[in-house]
Chains A and B, each alone.
Chain A
Amino acid sequence: MTLQGRNFREDGSLKGVSSVNLHEYQAKRLFAEHGVPIPDGEVATTPSEAREIARELGGRVVVKSQVLTGGRGKAGGIKLANNPDEAEILAGQILGMDIKGFTVRKVLIDKQAPGIAREIYLAVLIDRGRRRPMIMASAAGGMDIEQVAAEAPEKILTVHIEPALGVRSYHSRYLAAGMNMPRELWRDFHNIVSNLYTCFTVNDASLTEINPLVITGENKLLALDGKLSIDDNALYRHPRLADMRDTEEEPEAEREARLSGINFIKLDGNIGCMVNGAGLAMTTMDVIEYFGGSPANFLDIGGGAKAEQVATALRIILSDPNVKAVLFNIFGGITRGDEVARGIVEALEQVQTEVPMVVRLAGTNAAEGMAILADAEMETAATLSEAAQKAVAAAKVQEAQS
């Protein structure tokens, strides 16, 4: 029942699941499709739209910034309005606001709940260790759940769900009783838990979260906030969800990489890295630092990378002006050294650059690859340590010259 050893990201999702995060308004609409009660509301992109929506909702509304980060309330991105005029003014303040590096482009205008008697936390996620979906609930809703986990883990209740059985009434009764929820709400609570779980499985989610689920002044349950993360690997069977990805919040180079099937994360150093495999890519970064250098990026070209993909990866690396040297570390298994070598040579024909490069190829078809590189007069290395040392030295020379 404690969270010890479970790992949460800031957004509450479990580590180890790479996901597309949806905005609150998208998540809540999906919840509603599955029968979870949410406030009436609509999205606005301008203050005048916000005013019109607030008028239709009766005036008393919440103006909520839609950005993919936590702590919106503390940052001033969620405000109560008592009438359409206030909604317009607040929307004007919130739209364009920067919250933790994200620019607010949309606000959700929700009708205010008719009083809030209690706030509950409710989520469905995956427990890797138990290899089961897990429902987590807490009477300490409305707070950061990681903080609850750290300070009062006994306030968090969990039940694991056997997929073949699904959510049974005793699961939700256990949670409801544990939170001292009024008995007359148990049936509605069961429906919400069951529907949130269905929403989780039907959409291949890695997280569905309601924080808070409130008991209103009218003694009804209502989901005031919503988070939903979708397992990247399952997007192929959810084209509608794939289209909901907010690409405006993704850095340009990372978007280009993703669309090419390349795993790229920009860092602050000056040695660009192109590696096959995530573990080896991290190790290459570690070894660069071990020899006194600093990696400019994490880049995994994946398995079976073709020449074209290598060329794209090189363009992405060189688009960073900080890069003073590039280290290629390719250990072939599924990826073939000759294809990578051809990719490097082709890419260098397309991309004119003075940046020095060091290539280390080993494994499947490495000899063929090395021959191609030798013909192109590229600098090569036999081991990762040697390659890292050469790249660190080359970057230092370039840095001194610039």
Chain B
Amino acid sequence: MSILVDKNTRLVVSGITGREGAFHTTQMIEYGTHVVAGVTPGKGGQVFEAAGQRVPVFDTVKEAVEETEANASMIIVPARFAPDSIYETADAGIPLIVCLTEHIPILDMISVRSYLDTKGVRLVGPNCPGLLTPEQAKVGFIPGDIAMPGNVGVVSKSGTLTYEVVDALTRRGLGQSTCVGIGGDPINGTDFIDVLRMFEADPETEQIILIGEIGGRAEEDAAAFIDAHMTKRVTAFIAGRTAPPGRRMGHAGAIVEGNTGTAEGKVAALRAAGVRVADHPDQIADMAAE
């Protein structure tokens, strides 16, 4: 078991022929992910070859689903095309969409999320590193060689910070059930609580690592959910403790103003919910190993 993706995942990649799309699709295939189709409008009929495999490219997601029975999608197209790509994928009947694209305008995401909710489609991201179920499926950027199978569920707002933590867990001999990067955008498809609920229900996940950052109130909401509903142990880390107040730190979500959304507030909320909070990434692995 695991959550969201596993060896039965049949992935269609939108943007497969782009530079980044091609590079990461190759990495995913080498990892063993079943990439069954690619979509690039205007390039239907081409074949994407990587690691000894031939992946058919289609003009539309609908064709890709009809021909290959794809059941999950990864979107890696420029921001101005990403909303269309998400709508198209949802309309083609795919229940899980992982969108890696960053810089999608917020008003576009309001419409996207509202439409997906009517369809019952799960979106992970946008602006996220994707998903990894070790030795089963890699959907996104998370480097495969830093992970190993096990019983720790990882959920994170950050990208590269997730790799840092997964790497530290693996070096400590703690494998992962699934690693989920939900992204740091103000409006996204999947939040901490959605993933915590899935990990709580997953028999293979024994404990959870939650990686948050300053800004917004997703960590405070997660703390309330943990307090009320989680039986499994949760260990957390909050990035941005030393960030000066009032300055934007790149991620859409990462701003501190006043006393809301601060690292102190988030750490306090999580501790009050019985969550252990680490001071630096290497310490997370130590705490999880206890």
Interface of A with B (CB < 8 Å)?
A: 5, 7-10, 14-18, 126, 128-129, 131-133, 146, 163-164, 201, 204, 206, 231-234, 236-237, 263, 265, 267, 275-283, 285-290, 295, 298, 300, 303-304, 331-335, 362-364, 383-385
Contact = CB atoms under 8 A, between A and B. Distances in A.
Contacts of A231: 105-107
B218 to A, nearest CB: 9
Nearest to A132: B110
B243 A298 contact: yes
A283 B157 CA distance: 13
Given A290-B280, A334-B20, A8 B250 contact: no
B240 A282 contact: yes
B257 A7 contact: yes
Nearest to B256: A15
Interface in B148-171: 156-164, 167-168
A362 B165 CA distance: 12
A16 B255 contact: yes
A38 B51 CA distance: 64
Contacts of A5: 217, 260
Contacts of B187: 126, 128, 131
Given A163-B110, A333-B143, A363-B167, 18 more contacts: A8-B258, A14-B186, A16-B255, A126-B110, A163-B114, A204-B107, A236-B79, A267-B244, A278-B251, A279-B160, A280-B159, A283-B158, A286-B239, A287-B281, A332-B143, A333-B159, A333-B163, A334-B24
* Interface residue tally on B, bucketed by range: 35 or more
Interface in B163-193: 163-164, 167-168, 184, 186-187
B241 interface: yes
In the A-B complex, the 5 residue pairs with the smallest Cβ-Cβ separation, listed nearest first, are A279-B158, A277-B160, A278-B250, A333-B141, A234-B105
A385 B280 contact: yes
Nearest to A334: B141
B217 A333 contact: no
B91 interface: no
Contacts of A283: 158, 161, 164, 237, 239-240, 280-281
Interface of B: 20, 24, 27, 79-80, 100, 102-108, 110-111, 113-114, 129, 140-143, 146, 156-164, 167-168, 184, 186-187, 211, 213-217, 237, 239-244, 246-258, 260-261, 279-282
Residue with the highest number of chain A CB atoms closer than 10 Å, among B24, B106, B211, B215: B106
B158 A286 contact: no
Contacts of A333: 129, 140-143, 159-160, 163
Contact of A280 (B20, B161, B214, B247): B161
Given A126-B110, A128-B216, A16 B239 contact: no
Contacts of B242: 282, 285-286, 288-289, 295
Contacts of B214: 282
A283 B247 CA distance: 15
Given A233-B79, A281-B250, A362-B146, A133 B110 contact: yes
16 contacts: A9-B257, A10-B257, A17-B106, A128-B186, A132-B110, A146-B258, A233-B104, A265-B248, A267-B244, A276-B160, A278-B184, A279-B211, A283-B240, A289-B242, A333-B141, A363-B160
Given A18-B248, A286-B240, A332-B143, A279 B159 contact: yes
